[in-house]
Amino acid sequence: MKLPYAEPYKIKVVEKLYRSTQKERTQWLKDANYNLFNLKSEQVFIDCLTDSGTGAMSDQQWAEMMIGDESYAGSRSFEKLKKTVKRITGYKYFLPTHQGRAAENVLFSALVKEGDIVPGNSHFDTTKGHIEFRKAHAVDCTIDEAFDTSIYHPFKGNVDLNKLEKVFKENPKEKIPFTILTITCNSAGGQPVSMENTKAVSELCKKYHIPLYFDSARFAENAYFIKKREKGYENKSIKEIALEIFQLGDGMTMSAKKDGLVNMGGFIALNDEKVYKEATVFNIMFEGFITYGGMNGRDMGALAIGLDEATEFDYLESRIEQVAYLGQRLADFGVPVQQPFGGHAIFLDANKFVPTIPKEEFRAWSLAMELYIVGGIRGVEIGTILADRDPETRENRFPELEFVRLAIPRRTYTNHHMDYIAVALKNIFNTREEARHGYRIIDEAPIMRHFTVKMEKI
């Protein structure tokens, strides 16, 4: 019998979780105006709000924290991180930033102008935000299969080359500062991009003389999927695959809170000296001097170790297989989930889950409430509340798909926690025909309303 995967680490420090009662949670949720962002973390038993900055560091990373060099300029920790980034990405130049969106802010300040067009595969919301803030446009060129949950495709993060070439053909080269490829594609549900597709995108970009940048938050998870699903990569190491991806482009932005295995941090790495010089000015202005860029010395040290740990196969196997374990348990119970399972999260299909609630009463939001009441589990709505109102008509926008996302923090929970989540959802699913509450909005912000919206039960 083939040995199953097991975590390639053991636990040295634990953090206590409070197991609240359903009665307590009902009251807390009411006090939080039925918005999970308003809960205190002690009120949550299993927190699947995000996998960003919520993972556990290793003893090696904590040891590095103690020897962090906090010098303003020329810190040893900076040099350590710079060397690691060079080895893992192959890029010549490197700038630390305090997190991923800061890397976007710095790089895009150097590259994006009003009226520009930045094509890519379902840009992440902060990426799109930083493009649109500069009065430029993000054009989504993801393959159509990504938006159909009933279709199996091993690389749903892939770019449709025809859509991309159309953008290149219909716009002057000067209007397209770069193409951005998000690996894995967060907005499409943590779906990977294949090496074949990355190569094709790279060639197309070269043909039209457009630089290619990677939004690399989950680049190691993407490399893992390539190793598992793409012919010719079975025997390559994750580090070899990652380097091969990066060499197809000109640079990258990174949210180190994901595959950097740290709680805060980010960076830019790139080859073009001119762009580096321009970005340096913005980095000093927005983030800090170039040898810390918004990070502590100790945090740069921990990130240097984290990047190496995150690109080890055994770690990635246990991480991604844990997410798939939860997905499979749910699928076995008949609970509707998006497939194939993404690298960092499971998506519950609320349209199939709670069909008795009208969409005007916020189905996915209601399911997220129910999951918290029943199990003390915090997910996040990716549905009508998140989709916001149409900026012109001010009507609610109803997306075709309504999800509750359960993001799994790295190295943080055990498979018993996954079992607990699966059973809580099974119990909700088995009673789905019973009357459930819809919700109505009592107060909302004009934009990004999901963080602060106040709701009430109908």
Ligand X SMILES: *Cc1c(COP(=O)(O)O)cnc(C)c1O
In this chain, which of 255, 283, 322, 338 binds ligand X, going by CB under 6 A?
A: 255
Q: Which stretch binds ligand X (CB under 6 A): 24-32, 94-102, 169-177, 353-361?
A: 94-102
Q: Residue 303 contacts by C-beta under 8 Å, 6 or more apart in sequence?
A: 81, 256, 260, 261, 262, 265, 295
Over the window 265 to 284, marking each residue x when it contacts ligand X by CB under 6 A and - when it does not, the resulting string is -x------------------
Site string for ligand X, 46-85 (x = CB under 6 A): ------x---------------------------------
Please name the residue ranges forming H helices in 54-160: 59-66, 76-89, 100-111, 125-133
Query: Is residue 217 part of the contact set for ligand X (CB under 6 A)?
Result: yes
Mutual angle of helices 76-89 and 297-310, in 10-degree steps? 20
Closest by CA to 139, choosing from 158, 169, 116, is: 116
Nearest distance in Å: CB 242, ligand X: 16
Task: Tell me whether residue 31 is one of the annotated catalytic residues.
Answer: no
222 lies in the site for ligand X, by CB under 6 A: no
Minimum CB distance to ligand X smaller for 126 or for 202? 126
Considering CB under 6 A, how many residues would be counted as binding ligand X?
Answer: 15
Rule CB under 6 A: is residue 215 a binding residue for ligand X? yes
DSSP assignment, residue 46? E
Give the binding range for ligand X (CB under 6 A) out of 98-106, 220-228, 371-379, 386-394: 98-106
Question: Given the rule CB under 6 A, which of 35-43, 253-261, 275-283, 384-392 is the region that contacts ligand X?
Answer: 253-261
Give the one residue of 82, 257, 298, 378 binding ligand X; rule: CB under 6 A: 257
Taking the C-alpha atoms of residue 71 and residue 284, their distance in angstroms, rounded to an integer, is 16
Using CB positions, name the residue nearest to ligand X.
100
Burial per residue of 233-268, b for 16 or more beta-carbon CB atoms within 10 angstroms, e otherwise: beebebbebbbbbbebbbbbbbbbbbbbbbbbbbbb
Rounded CA gap, 209 and 187, in Å? 27
Q: How far is the CB of 88 from ligand X (least distance, A)?
A: 17
Q: Considering the candidates 98, 123, 258, 417, report the single residue annotated as catalytic.
A: 258
Catalytic position from the list 215, 250, 259, 349: 215
Question: Of the residues 72, 133, 398, 451, which is catalytic?
Answer: 72
Positions in 178-197 near ligand X (CB under 6 A): 182, 186
Decide: is 105 part of the binding site for ligand X (CB under 6 A): no
Strand ranges across the sheet with 179-182: 93-97, 266-270, 251-255, 212-215, 179-182, 117-120, 137-140
CB of 169 to ligand X, least distance (A): 27
Q: How far is CA 397 from the centre of its chain?
A: 23
Tell me the closest approach of the beta carbon of residue 177 to ligand X, in angstroms.
17
Q: Which is nearer to ligand X, 188 or 424 (CB)?
A: 188
Binding of ligand X at residue 93 (CB under 6 A)?
A: no
User: Binding to ligand X by residue 99, rule CB under 6 A?
Assistant: yes
Reduced 3-state DSSP string for 369-410: HHHHHHHCEECEEECHHHHCECCCCCCECCCCCCEEEEECCC
Single out the segment in contact with ligand X by CB under 6 A; choices: 1-9, 39-47, 164-172, 252-260.
Answer: 252-260
Helix (H) / strand (E) containing 365: helix 363-375
- 72 is annotated as an active-site residue: yes
Specify the residue, 116 or 215, whose C-beta has the smaller distance to ligand X: 215
Tokens in use for 52?
Answer: 């960003």
Nearest to 457 by CA among 399, 380, 335, 373: 373
Residue among 259, 237, 137, 136 nearest 186 (CA) = 259
Distances (CA, A) of 131 to 95, 114, 116, 137, 250: 20, 9, 9, 6, 19
Name the active-site residue from 31, 59, 125, 144.
Answer: 125
Distance between CA atoms of residues 413 and 97, nearest Å: 28
Spell out the residues 6+ positions from residue 95 whose beta carbon is closer than 8 angstroms to its own: 103, 106, 267, 268, 269, 276, 279, 280, 283, 287, 290, 293
215 is catalytic: yes
Q: Contact with ligand X (CB under 6 A): which of 68, 96, 100, 375?
A: 100
Is residue 258 annotated as part of the catalytic site, yes or no?
A: yes
98 included as an active-site residue = no
CB of 106 or CB of 385, closer to ligand X? 106
Bridge partners of 381? 404
Q: How far apart are CA 268 and CA 303, in angstroms?
A: 14
Q: Which is closer to ligand X, CB of 119 or CB of 375?
A: 119
Which three-class secondary structure state does DSSP give residue 445? coil
Question: Annotated catalytic residue: which of 124, 214, 219, 225?
Answer: 124
Task: Tell me how far, at minimum, the Cβ of 412 lies from ligand X, in Å.
Answer: 17
Distance CA(430)–CA(310), nearest Å, equals 38
101 is a site residue for ligand X (CB under 6 A): yes
Site for ligand X in 115-154 (CB under 6 A): 124, 126-127
Residues that bind ligand X (CB under 6 A): 52, 99-101, 124, 126-127, 182, 186, 215, 217, 255, 257-258, 266
Residues known to be catalytic = 72, 124-125, 215, 217, 258, 450
